[in-house]
Amino acid sequence: MNVRELFPITRNYIYLNHAAVAPYSTRVVDAIRRLVDDITVNGSVNWHSWTETLKRCRKLYAELVGAKDGQIAFVRNTSDGISAIANGFNWKKGDNVVSCDIEFPANIYPWMNLASKGVELRLAKSRDGRIEAEDVFELIDERTRVVSLSWVQYSSGFRADIATIGRFCRAREILFVLDAIQGLGALKLDVEAACIDAFAADAHKFLMGPEGLGILYLSDRAMQKVTPSIVGWMSVKDWWRCFDEDFKYRMELLPNALRFECGTPNTLGAFGAEAAVQLILEVGPQKIEDYLLDLCAYLSTRLQEIGFEIVAAPRNRKEASSIVCCKHKVLSAENLCRQLEREKIITAYRCGSLRISPHFYNDQSDIDRLIAALEKIKRAEI
């Protein structure tokens, strides 16, 4: 299978910005179009088949991360998923949450918002874009209830040692929560092996699906500690019985993660997401990770050859991800990003760095063209 042919964007751009928003494959477009055409011609006639798509999509995400059926729920986005955990925990005044000082705000504000309940947010200090497990552990005490970290840092590409952190938390009955959005789809994840209690992500980055469809994973252990702070007509058992003539209200929450799906889902998003995750599973999560780590190692080497410094340069493959951030001692990241876009090479700038985030359909020729463009900009600017 030539995966590159599935991405029409390759005809117009070298797209290296999957840490922001990924382009659609033709499979995703076809899936979304099928639903649009169905609704256009049939309205709600095939509604029951749409719910089957939602079920299949949840199961595919569960397969992707090694979860069980019933442990995946759809939410609006990553922030929504993390907020569901933060607001659904049974806090007591004096409890604390541990995170770090370079998290994306989606994994900070939900915990910061708990201050009114007397919950303290403690932030481990980063070291040049890195988060060391030991620095996280130093902030943990007997009142720590949750550790919440990004799997991959959005502004440096550093991949946390989630297995070590997860085991540490599990041994102390601390809930380990992951913001998985910058890793899921590019790196292989096994929630059981890494002792992850919960994670949230959105489909639109490395998962290569539509925006507005968040994935919330809750382990059985997390389900015992977190209850929905927002419920709706689809959060309860036999929710479809509300159409029956003899319907009676019964506040009986669903026994699994679906209790966090409170209302009408993003069906259009699920159609696209199903096609996207099917492709990832077809190619193979481990194969994708191995390929991307090799490609990003090549990228890092080429960048250093032309005078760029790699932010949080990986000391080993376990710290590497599909995000490479770099800096130049003279050229600004924002200016570089804008000039690369004129060359139809799409990157991003974050926190003073040029951020480059390829995916499995990119290849070394894309990297070589990026390097050639950067060298051209350097000659013109310096």
Q: Please state, rounded to an integer, the average pLDDT across all residues of the chain.
A: 97
CATH of the domain at 83: 3.40.640.10
Asked if 209 and 306 sit in the same domain, the reply is: no
Among residues 264, 281, 298, the one where a domain terminates is 281
Beta strand pairing status for 214-218 and 353-356? unpaired
Among residues 234, 253, 281, the one where a domain terminates is 281
Asked if 214 and 340 sit in the same domain, the reply is: no
What is the pLDDT confidence band of residue 381, given thresholds at 50, 70 and 90?
A: confident
Among residues 281, 308, 333, the one where a domain terminates is 281
Give how many domains the chain has, as a whole number.
2
Asked if 202 and 313 sit in the same domain, the reply is: no
Residue 370 dihedral angles phi and psi, to the nearest 5° = -60, -50
Tally of CB atoms within 10 A around 138 = 13
Asked if 168 and 245 sit in the same domain, the reply is: yes
Asked if 151 and 252 sit in the same domain, the reply is: yes
In this structure, the dihedral spanned by the alpha carbons of residues 66, 70, 71 and 75, taken in order and rounded to 10 degrees, is: 120
Asked if 238 and 299 sit in the same domain, the reply is: no
Residue 1 has pLDDT above 80, yes or no: no
Residue 243 lies in a domain: yes
In this structure, the dihedral spanned by the alpha carbons of residues 28, 30, 31 and 36, taken in order and rounded to 10 degrees, is: 120
Q: What is residue 363's predicted lDDT score, i.e. its pLDDT?
A: 98
Residue 22 lies in a domain: no
Tens of pLDDT, residues 287-316: 999 999 999 999 999 999 999 999 999 999
Q: For residue 319, give its domain range.
A: 3-16+285-381
The mean pLDDT value for 134-143 works out to 98
What residues are paired with 74 via a beta bridge? 215
Residue 228 has pLDDT above 90, yes or no: yes
CB contact at 8 A, 108 and 130: no
CATH of the domain at 337: 3.90.1150.10
Asked if 45 and 106 sit in the same domain, the reply is: yes
Residue 233 lies in a domain: yes
